A and B are shown apart, each in its own frame.
Chain A
Amino acid sequence: MASAGLAGVSGAACPLMRLVTMSSVPILQQLHLEERLLRCTPDNWCIINDSTAPATIVMGVSGRVSELVEIQPVLRDQVPVVRRFSGGGTVIVDQGTVFVTFICNKNAVTGLQPFPRDIMSWSGQLYGKVFDRFGEFHLRENDYAFSHRKFGGNAQSITKNRWVHHTSFLWDYDVKNMDYLKIPKRAPEYRLARNHTDFLCRMKEYIPSRSVFTDGVIAALGEHFSVQPMDLQAILSSHEEFVPSTKLVSQQDLEEIVSSKESFRV
């Protein structure tokens, strides 16, 4: 049966998790896919997108552009700015970013309540299995870090019966890209006012290859789920009538913010 899982480590049947692996998909397209799978399907999903292009700024649902983004250089260099459907902060993603997303039914993990801190804690335990062998891994407040340096940022969206937990991992990053982002007012305590360079680290300095990382994630998932690889093309063409809320912030909107004296949510 398609919905039945194979016996897991404990011998009990594991829920099914459909795995989608892709590479260099634009982040706007990835987020649209995630919203569709969250809102329009009843299944558990893991999406892995290794790298993305073009380099894009991605804000959380309520972010104020003028407070988070250096708009003048963004306009000058025509960097796309996306407002995603989940909460959380602002990142700039590019070919050095690896994305891992979990979309789960609220009953997928026994005993896990569909609240932010519960899901975050569960994810920290899962990723501990992936990262412990490579460095001093921590879930620090809501970030994944080696020691005190962040390499993974998280965001979530929780609906009545399902939730998304998605992460942008810094396999590598371009220091110059960080100049497009302001240091946010709302920052984790452990950041201690450090600039981007002192606060972040690169996964490639800890882990031998991207595939070692992604294979490790899939193996860790396999302890809780029966993981079933899916064909990306088949999924991309489904539920075309769904209108996602993740949007590109238009050039006009960015220009209006620059010309306006007051900050407002666009």
Chain B
Amino acid sequence: MAASSRLLWASRAAAYLRISTFPRAFSTVLKDLKYADTHEWVKVEGDSATVGITDHAQDHLGDVVYVELPEVGVSVSQGKNFGAVESVKATSDINSPVSGEVVEVNEKLSEEPGLVNASPYEKGWIIKVKLSDSGELNSLMDDEKYSKFCEEEDNH
């Protein structure tokens, strides 16, 4: 395809998939999610939220070999760690972008921790939370702010 046709196709595909695109090859950032500066994402549906780590995070962590999941029923607080991912030599805390009660954990990650790398926004989700304070979402970044944040971190 000619370059202009490719760009047109790419931007239409991006709009359909709700993906932000930039001229350079940045990590994927989804439009409908909110983001923490510790690289976790949250998808809110009513008073329920799904949490995972971003494409930027999984790319920088390397191959995830183990995910330490919390128990269902525990409380999580915005900005506090609730679990960890292990990638080769490192454990890295996962910090909750929201406060509430853990109502479900992604048990598949026990057998397939690599889902966090392969599908960070879909199959690699980590916990589902019943929100206790939806006002906290205002302190999180939208996709544009988060993309810029990642760009600044990588160019530091």
Residues in A lying within 8 Å of B, measured CB to CB? 60-62, 85-89, 111, 113, 115-120, 142, 154-160, 186
Contact = CB atoms under 8 A, between A and B. Distances in A.
A154 B66 CA distance: 17
A17 B21 CA distance: 41
Contact of A158 (B66, B90, B154): B90
A116 B88 contact: yes
Interface in B67-94: 68, 79, 81, 84, 86-93
Interface residues of B, number: 22
Nearest to A155: B89
A157 B154 CA distance: 21
Given A61-B66, A117-B62, A160-B38, A111 B156 contact: yes
Contacts of B81: 159-160
Nearest to B155: A111
Given A62-B66, A113-B153, A120 B93 contact: no
Interface of B: 38, 60-62, 65-66, 68, 79, 81, 84, 86-93, 95, 153-154, 156
Contacts of B95: 160
- Most chain-A Cβ atoms within 10 A of its Cβ — which of B61, B65, B92? B92
Contact of A113 (B66, B91, B156): B156
Given A155-B89, A159-B81, 11 more contacts: A61-B86, A62-B68, A87-B88, A87-B89, A87-B90, A88-B90, A113-B156, A117-B60, A117-B62, A119-B90, A157-B92
A88 B156 contact: no
A119 B84 CA distance: 18
